[in-house]
Amino acid sequence: MIDFQTSPQDYKHWKLDFDGPVAYLTMDVNAEATLKPGYELKMNSYDLGVDIELYDAVQRLRFEHPEIKSVVMRSGKDRIFCAGANIRMLGKSSHAHKVNFCKFTNETRNSIEDASEHSHQRYISAVNGTAAGGGYELALATDYIMLIDDGSATVSLPEVPLLAVLPGTGGLTRVVDKRKVRRDRADIFCSIEEGARGQRAVDWRLVDESIKGSIFEEEVAKRAHAFAADSDRPSDAKGVTFTPLNRKIDGDRVQYDLIDIEINRSGRVATVTLKAPTDAAPADLAGAHAQGADFWPLALCRQFDDALLHLRTNETEIGTVIFKTSGNGSLIEAYEKLLEDNADDWLMREIILYWKRTLKRVDMTSRTLVTLIEPGSCFVGILAELIFAADRSYMLDGQIEGDDTPEAKIKLSAFNFAMMPMSNDLTRLETRFLGEPETVERVKAMIGQEINGAEANKLGLVTDAYDDIDWEEDVRLFLEERVGYSPDALTGMEANLRFAGPETMETKIFGRLTAWQNWIFQRPNAVADDGALKLYGTGTRPSYDFNRV
Amino acid sequence: MSESIRADLVEVNYDDLIPNNVDLSNDRRLKKALEEWQPNYIDWWKDMGPEGFQESEVYLRTAVGVDPQGWAVFDHVKMPEYRWGILLAPKEEGRKINFGKHKGEPAWQEVPAEYRSLLRRLIVIQGDTEPASVEQQRYLGKTAPSLYDMRNLFQVNVEEGRHLWAMVYLLQKYFGKEGRQDAEDLLQRRSGDEDRPRLLGAFNEETPDWLSFFMFTYFTDRDGKMQLAALAESGFDPLSRTCRFMLTEEAHHMFVGESGVSRVVEKTCQAMNDAGITDPYDIEAVRKLGVIDLPTIQKKLNFHVSVTEDLFGAEVSTNGASAFEAGLKGRFEETKIDDDHQLHDATFDVWRVVDGQIVQETEPALNAVNARLVYDYINDAAGGVKRWNKLIKKMGIDFDLKMPHMGFNRRIGEFAESFITPEGEIVDEATWTAKEFDYLPNEADLLFLKELMQPEYRQGEYATWIAAPKVGINSKPGDFEYVKIYGSSN
């Protein structure tokens, strides 16, 4: 099992240092400490284990260190920044692992950009040596790239010429979309092994600055402090410590404090139940800060994030994920109100942003997503987003005979409008109702109202509503039908249908780059015994099938 | 009618609103679905069922048991009050799937998810034919040649209605909300309606007269028998059980058809003999006797056989192969066939037109299951034709009714693009078209039949063109009042 939980004292590959408002996140990969046997992480190359630590560090910098206003990403190795994903690891990995690995690394790079843009914790990369492939992509995810000018340090994306694959972590897209490198220059850059350095790298906008080695560290520090000065993050606030999650895995059951996962292996279905708070919200912002990691919205989000990563990585045969909620929905509103009313407080802002990223992770999860809304559920506000994130959502209309639990209701809040954009920069409701924007306005007027099954169905908020007589059977029929289909076709279909509307850099990275990469990862030119990934480092030239597809 | 059902015979629960042997009272979901569907069904029946006789009391047979003898009671009943219900053949413990990929596995009691849509399509297509024939025959009561025949017509109609119930049961029980929508749609389509026709061509043709009715019940209901027999082999046990019970009812329909044609033929021959006419082709003279000439009967036969053959679909069909491979629809008498019932390496010779010749070509047997079923059908149907010819011969008339060649007048399958005479000769389009009405009834023939068919509602009396039956229904005499017409808004 791959565990996504870690903490700085357990890091094998990263180091955190602090200098007032500036943090130094130093990559110093321990070549021996690999996630799986069979390869060594030389030259600051990485595997999923390295990235799990990076993700943890990025999260902690946001939550545990409100005083940190800029972060310098640098290398602990001489003349090497980062060599990218480990090629031997990729050569040995299953296709599914490669895909999951790339998806997670992409999400982590997006979260770095989210920190720069929305948390006002700007990332700078101090490229002290070779930044190749995924190494340069890591730099591309930061807000500002400073390249040492020592006559040898380069940035490069040599995947096409060397490995017959693509830079898989947003490199191509970010070069033209984010750094706006001219397409023919980008074409040159991406098709040469040696990459670019010095003034040319600056002229082509591949980096922001090229700096002599003698003054490199000093300039980096200056720049980091200058960025920090522009941040609105507080200097004197107390961070929230990410205490270890209380997670129990017992056979087909995974339990957190606020989340239950039940796995039905023969049906290949996991049911994820998210629980409402049991206590009323703290009276004020100070109370929320005092609760820290136990503050319900944050606690639930952390557990949900971990649960999603666990299911994705460790339960690949579970093709369908059902979302349910349980508990007293009326308590949720007060929590949401604290967040909404104090959205400029650094912690409340972080929690909102964390939910935004986690819901995007839901969108990116290559499982059939079904949300079931039953009596006893609490689909209020942020939890109601799961209805709109799902491929199908079904609501039980009315009560269950012989059970006096009141009928299920949905209640929308500001979180369903503007606060939780998807990667296409639209809200889930805007995406859902792309062809009928007036419906979005109509349901917006219903914020705070209870909407029952029949009404929700009429409004189009759910796929369908069934009464208790039909409920079990029709849900079962859908699930049975679904698990019979090809998982590949389903993944492709769902990914195509989920993201209606405009493209953004993020949608391009996941929808275009990743899709092509996943195709290339399957092709003999890359992965056959005489393909480039397999032969890399052996000295033998790969032989390609030269038919264009 | 309930008091007439003897308690010791009943294994079907008539206490419920809907008679059944599927424990409906304990299946809340199905009960609700059927109880919602039932009023719409009754509306459909009143709207599209036998026109003019909804208030008449008809001496109908109602099944009260589902064993092969088909326990039943007979009583006069108004058709809209007929006790339609859900009747399945008894469950065979340990039944296995007998063919296809899953051969040898236990028969499915629930729909296997991967075959849900395929199975649903099969059931919808079968289900659509049942109300269609009721619609096609709705005006025939007005020209019934006797109360006996009228009663048989209505018996066929109510049973086709019940067959619709049988398919609706499967859709509602096993296919959720979508199945319920399908069940509703079965009541919305209308035979011959341009905007919402029935699914299969033959079920949008008119049944304009009683000769057509007899031909339909003999030839087209025999397609029904073949299809039901193939579905009775299904690995999906509820479908198999449903179809097995439907087959016992279908047999009666074919009896109505075979004996009906037989009585028409008998009366024609009788009249010719009485009048001293020996040439069966002296059509005008024969018609003047108030009977139907044998060549017109042959033309009707040509029409009904050819449109019915189209119902089997393309002889070589991947859909047919999928349904067989999946274990959903077998061949006719599958378990009696001596082969491996999987057909992966087997071949089957299919008739088709190649370079202007009708030849046999070898196809993978799996793809040719439809061909096999239609060939089996043709053999099966030939039996009745033989018996009619025996009768004609016995009556001393020199005429043979013939099954037309399987390529004649086809719109679907191997022969759809060719012009083939009933004798099996390939001709060009112009030649065929010039002779079309030597093969098929023309306007004048249909007009003659229409004018000939005047109602005969008197007890024990029969129209001029049809002989009395040998025996009555349920051992009742020929002059029994099979239909009490009073109260009808005829």
d(CA A411, CA A379): 6
Domain span including residue B410? 95-456
Strand A450-452 vs strand B419-420: parallel, antiparallel, or unpaired? unpaired
Half-sphere exposure of B452 (CA within 13 A, CB side): 24
Residues 6 or more apart whose CB falls under 8 angstroms from that of B443 comprise none
Question: By the CB < 8 Å criterion, does B196 face chain A?
Answer: no
CB atoms within 10 A of CB A538: 8
Residue A309 and residue A270 share a domain: yes
What's the pLDDT score for residue B10?
A: 46
Query: What does the pLDDT look like over A121-175, one tens digit per residue?
Result: 999 999 999 999 999 999 999 999 999 999 889 999 999 999 999 998 999 999 9
Contact A310, A254 (CB under 8 A): yes
3-state helix, strand, coil in chain A (%, to 5): 45, 15, 40
Question: Does A401 share its domain with A380?
Answer: yes
CA-CA-CA-CA torsion sign (A533, A535, A539, A540): negative
Residues of B in contact with A473 (CB under 8 A): 29, 176
Q: How far is CA A67 from CA A60, A71, A72, A113, in A?
A: 12, 11, 14, 18
Query: What is the DSSP code (8-state) at residue B449?
Result: H
Please tell me if residue A402 touches chain B, with a CB cutoff of 8 Å. Answer: no
When pLDDT is cut at 50, 70 and 90, the band that residue B478 belongs to is: confident
Question: What residue of B is the nearest CA neighbor of A466?
Answer: B177
B288 touches chain A (CB under 8 A): no
Regarding whether A329 and A462 lie in a shared domain, the answer is: yes
Per-residue pLDDT of B132-170, as tens digits, reads: 999 999 999 999 999 999 999 999 999 999 999 999 999
Retrieve residue A505's tokens. 């850099």
Which chain A positions have a beta carbon within 8 Å of B32's beta carbon?
469
Which of A269, A400, A480 to substitute to test the interface with B, most B CBs within 10 Å? A480
Task: Round to whole Å and give the CA distance between A249 and A281.
Answer: 29
Are B147 and B481 spatial neighbours (Cβ–Cβ below 8 Å)? yes
Q: Are residues A192 and A300 in the same domain?
A: no
Q: Are A272 and A259 in contact (CB under 8 A)?
A: yes
Cβ under 8 Å to A: B residues 23-42: 28-29, 32
**Which of A469, A482, A483 is the mutation pick for testing B, counting most B CBs within 10 A?**
A469
- Distance (Å) from the C-alpha of residue A371 to the closest C-alpha of chain B? 18
CA–CA distance, B98 with B232 (Å, rounded to integer): 11
B372 to A266, B282, B313, B376, B378: CA distances (angstroms): 39, 39, 11, 6, 10
**Consecutive H or E run containing A269:** strand A269-275
Please answer whether residues B60 and B75 qualify as being in contact, where contact means their C-beta atoms are separated by less than 8 angstroms: yes
Which chain B positions have a beta carbon within 8 Å of A481's beta carbon?
A: 113, 116-117
Q: Are B307 and B202 in contact (CB under 8 A)?
A: yes
Asked if B330 and B345 touch (Cβ cutoff 8 Å), the reply is no
Cα B356 to the chain's mean position, in Å? Answer: 34
Residue A428 is part of a domain; what is its CATH number?
3.90.226.10
Residue A379's H or E segment, with its range, is strand A379-380
Smallest CA-to-CA distance from A270 within A219, A218, A225, A323 is with A323
pLDDT at B318 over 70: yes
For residues A26 and A155, membership in a common domain is answered with yes
Is A236 inside a domain boundary?
Answer: no
Report how far residue B41's alpha carbon sits from residue B34's, in angstroms, rounded to the nearest whole number.
10
Query: Residues of B with CB below 8 A from A401's CB?
Result: 28
Phi-psi region of A151 (alpha: psi -120 to 50; beta: other; left: phi over 0): left
CA angle B464, B470, B476 (to 5 degrees): 105
| C-alpha torsion sign, points A147, A151, A152, A158 | positive
Counted domains in chain A: 3
Indicate whether B356 pLDDT > 60: yes
Q: Give the Å distances, CA to CA, from A233 to A55, A116, A229, A345, B270.
A: 20, 12, 10, 9, 109
C-alpha dist (Å) from residue B122 to A129, B126, B199: 68, 6, 12
Asked if B176 and A470 come within 8 Å (Cβ–Cβ), the reply is yes
Nearest to A473 among B29, B113, B116 (CB): B29
- Asked if pLDDT for residue B107 goes beyond 90, the answer is yes
> Residue B259: which pLDDT band, with cuts at 50, 70 and 90?
very high
Query: Does residue A4 fall inside a structural domain?
Result: no
Would the CB atoms of A466 and B177 count as touching at under 8 Å?
yes
> Do the domain assignments include residue A430?
yes
- Residue B429 near chain A (CB below 8 Å): no
The C-alpha atoms of residue A527 and residue A166 are separated, in whole angstroms, by 13
> Sign (positive/negative) of CA torsion A164, A165, A166, A169?
negative
pLDDT, residue B16, reads: 67
Nearest-angstrom CA–CA distance, B440 and B302: 6
Query: Beta partners for B20?
Result: B13, B86
Residue with tokens 């011969």: B393
pLDDT at A46: 97
The answer to whether the beta carbons of residues B369 and B321 sit under 8 Å apart is: yes
Does B483 fall in a domain? no
Residue entry with tokens 């206590």 = A279
* Phi-psi sector, B327: left (phi>0), alpha (psi -120 to 50), beta: left
Mutation target vs A (from B30, B109, B173, B177; most A CBs, 10 A cutoff): B177
ipTM over 0.85: no
Residue B405 and residue B416: Cα distance in Å, rounded?
13
pLDDT at A156: 97
DSSP state of B405: P
Residue B53 · residue B137 · CB < 8 Å: no
- If asked whether residues A377 and A264 sit together in one domain, one would say yes
Which residue from A minimizes the CA distance to B117?
A481
Residues of B in contact with A483 (CB under 8 A): 113
In chain B, how many domains are there? Answer: 1
Q: At what angle do helices B221-232 and B116-136 cross, to 10 degrees?
A: 160
Contacting residues of B for A466, CB less than 8 Å apart: 177
Judge whether B131 lies within some domain.
yes
Average pLDDT over chain B, rounded to an integer: 91
Q: Are residues A148 and A173 in the same domain?
A: yes
Residue A455 placed within a domain: yes
pLDDT at residue B64 greater than cutoff 50: yes
Strands A464-466 and B57-63: unpaired
- Number of residues that this document lists for chain A: 549
- Structure token digits, residue B425: 């000769």
Determine whether the interchain pair A469/B29 forms a contact, defined as Cβ–Cβ distance below 8 Å.
yes
B1 lies in some domain: no
Per-residue burial over B316-332, b if 16 or more Cβ lie within 10 Å, else e, is: bbebbbbbbbbbbbbbb
- Do A207 and A328 fall within a single domain? no
Angle at CA of residue B280, ends B279 and B286, nearest 5°: 100
Residue A542 lies in a domain: no
Mean pLDDT by 10 residues, chain A (549 residues): 96 97 98 94 96 98 98 96 93 87 95 97 97 97 96 94 91 96 97 94 97 96 97 96 97 97 96 97 97 98 98 96 96 96 97 98 97 97 98 97 95 96 97 97 97 97 94 91 91 94 94 85 90 85 90
> In the prediction, which pLDDT does A264 show?
97
Is B12 inside any structural domain?
no
Whole-number Å distance between alpha carbons of A41 and A32: 7
Kind of pairing between the strands at B357-364 and B347-354: antiparallel
Residues A310 and A454 in one domain: yes
**Chain B contact present for A151, CB below 8 A:** no
* B69: pLDDT strictly greater than 80: no
Q: How far is CA B425 from CA A379, A524, B43, B301, B407, in A?
A: 72, 57, 48, 18, 9
- Residue A531 shares a structural domain with residue A444: no
Is A480 within 8 Å of B28 when comparing Cβ atoms?
A: no
Q: Do A363 and A283 sit in the same domain of this protein?
A: yes
By the CB < 8 Å criterion, does B177 face chain A? yes
User: What digits encode the pLDDT tens for the residues B192-233?
Assistant: 998 999 998 889 988 999 999 999 999 999 999 999 999 999
The helix or strand, by DSSP H or E, that contains position A45, with its residue range, turns out to be: strand A45-46
Do A478 and A504 fall into the same domain?
A: no
- The number of beta carbons lying within 10 Å of the beta carbon of residue A28 is 14
pLDDT of residue B38: 92
Q: Which residues pair with A210 in a beta bridge?
A: A147
Give the number of residues written for chain B: 490
Q: How far is A396 from chain B (nearest CA, A)?
A: 14
Residue A478 token pair: 């859908």
Report yes or no on B72 lying in a domain: no
| pLDDT score for B158 | 95
Q: Write the Ramachandran bin of B285: left for phi over 0, alpha for psi from -120 to 50, otherwise beta.
A: alpha
Task: Give the DSSP letter string of A414-444.
Answer: GGGTTSS--TTSS-HHHHHTTT-HHHHHHHH
pLDDT at B487: 53
Nearest Cβ partner of B28 from A469, A480, A484? A469
The answer to whether the Cβ–Cβ distance between A480 and B32 falls below 8 Å is: no
CATH number of domain containing B365? 1.10.620.20
Q: Is B113 on the interface with A (CB under 8 A)?
A: yes
- Which of B29, B117, B120 is the best mutation test for A, with the most CBs of A within 10 A? B29
Q: Nearest CA to CA, how far is B473 from chain A (Å)? A: 44
**Can you give the residue range of the structural domain that contains A523?**
498-535
Nearest to A77 by CA among A153, A159, A165: A153
Domain-embedded: residue A7: no
The residue among B100, B118, B107, B114 whose CA lies nearest residue B344 is B100
Q: Tell me: the pLDDT tens digits for A353-394?
A: 999 999 999 999 999 999 999 999 999 999 999 999 999 999
Asked, for residue A254, whether it belongs to a domain, the answer is yes
- The yes-or-no verdict on residue B17 having pLDDT over 80 is no
Sorting pLDDT into bands at 50, 70 and 90, what band is B67?
A: low
* Cβ count within 10 A of residue B118: 17
Gap between the Cα atoms of A468 and A400, Å rounded: 5
Interface probe with A: pick from B26, B30, B114, B182, most Cβ of A within 10 Å: B114
Task: Report pLDDT digits (tens) over B108-120.
Answer: 999 988 899 899 9
What type of residue is A60?
Answer: R
